[in-house]
Structure 1
Amino acid sequence: MTTTPPYLTGHYTPVAEEVSASELTVEGTLPPELTGRLLRNGHNPKPGVTPTHWFKGSGMVHGIRLREGRAEWYRNRWVHTPALDGAPYMTEHGPDLTASTAGTHVIEHAGRLLALCEANLPFELTPDLDTVGAYDFDGKLRTAMTAHPKEDPVTGELHFFGSSPFPPFLTHYVADAKGAVTHSAEVPGATASLKHDFALTRRHVVFVEGNVTFDHTESSGIPYSWSDHQPSRIGVMPRGEDGARHTRWFSIEPGNMLHVSNAYEDGQGRIVLEGPTVDREGFRLSWNWWVGAPGRGSEPVARSYTRRWILDLTAGTVDEQIIDDLPVEFPTINEDYLGAENRYQYAISFPDEKGFGGYGVVKYDRTTGARRIHQIGDARMPSEAVFVPAADTTREDDGYLLTVVSDLKQNASQLLVLDASGLDRIATVHLPHRVSAGLHGSWIPDTALDGSAG
């Protein structure tokens, strides 16, 4: 008997076709300052294709165009990479970095839209989501590129890395505000541990190596697994041309982190890093969901709790603790505070490993320790909540959260616009079909894209 993998069912059921729709129905009032595009990416294999791992599904980008209080259009497009037509990643000449799912994230930098998958080159898209092609920063990107680059809100620089299960294991890159790569360096001491995300502070680049590492025996097509022999560590590299050779590695407790909430230097010069992590059992339950194996949890993330590390660079010590017992993932912040001390952060809550609890949009107040949840409702699942600052802001949480909801009962989806301060609903935009649960996305204001008035 053939069982449909969980990543092709329920909220994750793929969208079967590309659709364009205009003048979407809006309930409530869209703030006129929300003039731009919400873009969201996720794995969405073509009809008839059953990938061996959730992460191997081809990427589909969904776009919602807002302008001056109207929802002008929705459209969804597959990212047309060689892998969409079946081209293999491994060839007789080695890996084909253009054979990408391009299904993890979509960002804008220097007026260029890039669909990302950490094992490959980025793929450039037009503002209407048509595929331009693979992009290698004019030949300066010589490795794969992380799906989680960080744009420094002060300098406009884009920091990113390429990781590999083979030497060089980790390469750090910097592109300037105009999109030109100005620096690259191999990071010494790195291993084959899976590095999905990283952090940027005002003075350092922070890498995380957990217990998930390269495993050539893994048969799902994603060659990684948990290893008790792989050290769990945090690498701290000073920013600057000569920073790589001063990289230091700090041992931490076993675990694995996919996504960083934020990192910064506190008043004592210590590095504070936060993000959801899983333990060995949490990774086992999650991985089995990702590959459709027995013994899996009911959700794609299990036992994922927010952890805080405080690294004292002078003493050479790390203090770490789990700071919340709610299962969450997809942490976000007001990106103006990336690399600086932030008071507020957001996440999506999931049912626990036994299926108890519901989906919600979570707001944390790191100063008071308060936690607030906007409950989404029965059989409804939100996407990562993207923060958009309000005009003329005076407070960190002056702004909006944008999340796309999959509604199984109505077989429909909506874009929810929430007040980031109190999590109250401001507006609902009804989409032309149900959008499958995906991964990451970005708000792209019109000012970021030249010639994007259409």
Structure 2
Amino acid sequence: MTTAKPYLTGHYTPLVDEVTATDLTVEGTLPPELTGRLLRNGHNPKPGITPTHWFKGSGMVHGIRLRAGRAEWYRNRWVHTPALDGAPYMTETGPDLTASTAGTHVIEHAGRLLALCEANLPFELTPELETVGAYDFDGKLRTAMTAHPKEDPVTGELHFFGSSPIPPYLVHHVVDAKGQLVHSAEVPGASAALKHDFALTRRHVVFIEGNVTFDPQEHSGIPYAWRDDQPARIGVMPRGEDGARHVRWFSIEPGNMLHVSNAYEDGRGRIVLEGPTVDREGFRLSWNWWVGAPGRGTEPNTRSFTRRWVIDPAAGTVDEQIIDDLAVEFPTLNEQYQGVENRYQYAVSFPDEQGFGGYGVVKYDRSTGARRIHRIGDARLPSEAVFVPAAGATREDDGYLLTVVSDLKQDASQLLVLDACDLDRVAAVHLPHRVPGGIHGSWIPDTPADRPAA
């Protein structure tokens, strides 16, 4: 008797076709500043395909077009990469960086939409989510691209890295506001540890290496495993063309982080870094869910608690602590505060390792320590909550949170719009089918050229 893979059942049951629907039903009133597209990516293998790991499912991007208080369209499209048709990542000549699932994230930079998976090149999409092809920044990008690039809200630069289980282990890249790759540098001292996300402050690039590292004995298709002898570290690198020459690595407590909430320099020159992390048992339970192994947790993110590190470069020390005992993942914020001290952060809450507690959208007030939760409801799973500023915003939390909800009881999905201040429901858009639980996404506001003539 075989047990169905958890990432192919329940909230994560894949869709079997591509759909376009127009003039979607809206409950409530969509704010007029929500003019653009919410795009969200996730792993959705084709019918008949059972990947050996959640992360190996082919990428499918979902898009919802909002304008003038209307939900004009929804569409979902597979990212048509060579891997979608079965092309292997490893070849006789080495890895094929175009053989991507392209299923982790989707972003826009300099007018170009990119679907991302950290082991590969990005894939360009049209505004209607059709696949253009692999994109290598005019031949200048020769490494993979992380699925979590960071755009500086002041300069418009896009920072990202390429990591590899073989040297060079870590290469930092910078793309200017016009979309040109202008800088690439190998980062000394990095190891084969898994590096999924990183942080960008006003003056530094911050890399995180946990206890999960390359392991060729792991046969799930994602060759990484927890190793007690892999040092957990934070790398702090000054921004600028010669920053790699001055990177410093600081030892931290064992653990593993997938996603950064934010990082910034405080008034004493220390670097404050926050994000959900797991311990060894949390990683074991989560990994077993991701591969469908016995002894797995009930959720894809188990024992994932928010941790804070305060790195003092002058003293050479790191203070760290778990600052909340709620199991959360997919942290987000008002991205105008990326790299500077922020007051508010958002996340998705999950049931604990015994299955208790429900799904919700969480708001943290870092000044007061308060935590507010918008409970999504029974058998309803929210996606990563994307922040969109309100028109004329004067406060950090003046805006809206957009999350796509999978509803198992109704076998349906809605785009839920919440007030980012109090988490009250503002509006809901009914989608033509249930959207599987996914990974990351972005709000792409209209440019002047996208807006209809007056």
Give the TM-score range, shorter chain. over 0.9
Within 5 A, what are the aligned runs for 1:113-128?
113-128=113-128
Q: Which residue of 2 aligns with 1:174?
A: 174
Residue 235 of structure 2 aligns with an amino acid whose one-letter code is: G
1:91-240 aligned at under 5 Å gives the runs: 91-240=91-240
Distance 1:75 1:224 in 2: 34
Structure 1 residue 97: deviation in Å? 0.2
Tell me if structure 2 keeps the 8 A contact 1:301–1:329: yes
| 1:250 and 2:250 matched | yes
Q: CA deviation at 1:116?
A: 0.1
Instruction: Measure how far apart 1:373 and its partner are.
Output: 0.1
* Cα distance in 2 for residues equivalent to 1:269 and 1:88: 46
Does the 8 A contact of 1:361 with 1:382 survive in 2? Answer: yes
Shift of 1:253: 0.1
Contact kept, 8 Å, 1:446 with 1:453, in 2: the verdict is no
- CA shift, 1:56, in A, is 0.2
Which residue matches 2:56?
Answer: 56
Aligned counterparts of 1:20 and 1:161: Cα–Cα separation in 2: 34
The alignment status of 1:260 with 2:260, answered yes or no, reads: yes
Q: Deviations over 1:28-85 (max 9, x none)?
A: 0000110000000000000100000000000000000000100000000000000000
Tell me which residue corresponds to 1:87: 87
One-letter amino acid of the counterpart of residue 195, structure 1: K
Offset at residue 323 of structure 1 (A): 0.1
| TM-score, length basis structure 1 | 0.99
Q: Counterpart of 1:410? A: 410
Q: Which residue of 1 aligns with 2:424?
A: 424
| RMSD across aligned positions (CA) | 1.0
Q: CA deviation at 1:140?
A: 1.1
Q: What is the CA distance between 1:452 and its match in structure 2?
A: 7.7
Q: What is the identity percentage for the equivalent residue pairs of Structure 1 and Structure 2?
A: 85
In 2, the alpha carbon distance for the partners of 1:184 and 1:422 equals 42
Is the alpha carbon distance of 1:453 and 1:114 closer, same or farther for their aligned partners in structure 2, counting shifts above 3 Å?
farther
TM-score (norm 2): 0.99
Amino acid of the structure 1 residue aligned with 2:89: Y
Total equivalences in the alignment: 453
| Cα distance per residue 1:330-359 (max 9 Å; x no partner) | 000000000000000000000001100000
1:389 counterpart residue number: 389
Between the aligned partners of 2:447 and 2:44, the Cα distance in structure 1 is 30
Question: Which residue pairs with 1:16 in the alignment?
Answer: 16
What SS does the corresponding residue of 1:23 show, helix, strand or coil?
strand
The answer (yes or no) to whether the contact 1:127–1:452 under 8 Å persists in 2 is: no
Gaps of 5+ in 2: none
Shift of 1:406: 0.2
Distance 2:183 2:154 in 1: 18
Structure-1 residue corresponding to 2:441: 441
- Aligned partner of 2:360 in structure 1 is 360
Aligned with 1:432: secondary structure? coil
Aligned partner letter, 1:63: G
Deviating runs (4+, > 6 A) in structure 1? none
Q: Distance in 1 between matches of 2:385 and 2:310?
A: 26
CA distance in structure 1 between the partners assigned to 2:27 and 2:295 by the alignment: 42
**Structure-1 separation of matches of 2:267 and 2:393:** 25
Give, in angstroms, the shift of residue 451 of structure 1.
Answer: 5.2
CA deviation string 1:301-321 (max 9, x = no partner): 100000000000100000000
Give, in angstroms, the shift of residue 392 of structure 1. 1.1
Contact 1:218 1:225 in 2 (8 A): yes
1:195-216 CA distance string (max 9 Å, x none): 0000000000000000000000
Identify if the C-alpha distance between structure 1 residues 451 and 71 changes in structure 2 by more than 3 Å, giving closer, same or farther: closer
State the match for 2:283 in structure 1.
283
SS in 2 for 1:161: strand
Kept in 2: contact 1:192–1:214 (CA 8 A): yes
Kindly tell me: are residues 218 and 25 of structure 1, through their superposed partners in 2, closer, same or farther at Cα, counting changes over 3 Å?
same
Letter in 1 for 2:332: T
1:163 and 1:35 map into 2 onto residues whose CA distance is 36
